[in-house]
Amino acid sequence: MNTHIRGGRWGVNSVTRLWSSVIFHAVNDLFSATDYQGARHEALSFLTDASGGWAESRNNACLLAGLDGDQLREYTIEILEGQRTLYTGAEQSAVRDPQHGQRLWNKKKELRRLAAIQRDGKSKGPRIVPKRIARIEGTSVLIETPWEGQSFCATLNSEFPKPLTSHGRAIWRACQPQGGMVNDYTPHTMQAFENWVSRTRCVVEYHDVFGNVVPSRFHDAYSFRLRHLGPDA
């Protein structure tokens, strides 16, 4: 069998490139800035649905592209959950951003949760965590006791990740009086931590070695704390 296009015939490599391009465009549609939200919705379903027509289409496309459909879904969800870094490449760094897809992913998860509540006739949502788990003193967020994984904190209006994950530990340190040390965590963990904070009513406050506030972890940051913006932020 030919492995290239010759005499107008399709070969193995050309078919592989074609379907690899289809998958590549789906990833671009999900994570790139676009005014056409329909493309992002379709890309999210194509890349993450566990069953149904979109899942079948993904698995067929991956088969023809020489990829593993389940692994593609797993990697995509890890990016959406902030557990894996999205590779952009120098030419794509200005347009690809995981947050483009994460906002839609979080909305879709919430809709599924509400649908499950309606279907089952009772709430299966995350447990409401008592305020002793996370309280506010001035603008400082404090956590007194470890939380249960995937539990909801009304004070921060957000779900906690599992406490044993790396960014879960970063959240714990950020909510202690002494704060956390930036160098104790990898850039990937700090990015996942910042992604979680962006969904709360909080900001990360970074300090240099002298205790002065700096704009971000990229400006000689030494430590970090979690600061609350207030109920109307």
pLDDT digits (tens, 9 = 90+) for 91-118: 444 456 778 788 888 888 877 776 666 6
Per the DSSP assignment, residues forming a β-bridge with 135 are 142
| Helical residues (DSSP H) of the chain, grouped into ranges | 12-31, 37-48, 53-65, 69-80, 98-120, 166-174, 187-197
66 and 150 assigned to the same domain: no
**Is it the case that residue 206 has pLDDT exceeding 90?**
yes
The tokens describing 70, both together, are: 């389940």
- State which of 85, 120, 155 marks the end of a domain: 120
Q: How far apart are CA 154 and CA 127, in angstroms?
A: 10
Residue 163 predicted with pLDDT over 50: yes
In a domain, 108, yes or no: yes
**Which tens digit of pLDDT belongs to each residue from 179-200?**
889 988 888 889 989 988 888 8
Residue 103 and residue 48 in one domain: yes
| DSSP classification of residue 216 | S
Residue 169 and residue 107 in one domain: no
> How many structural domains comprise the chain?
2
Show the domain range for 76.
12-120
Q: Whole-model pTM above 0.85?
A: no
Which has the minimum average pLDDT: 13-22, 98-107, 148-157, 196-205? 148-157
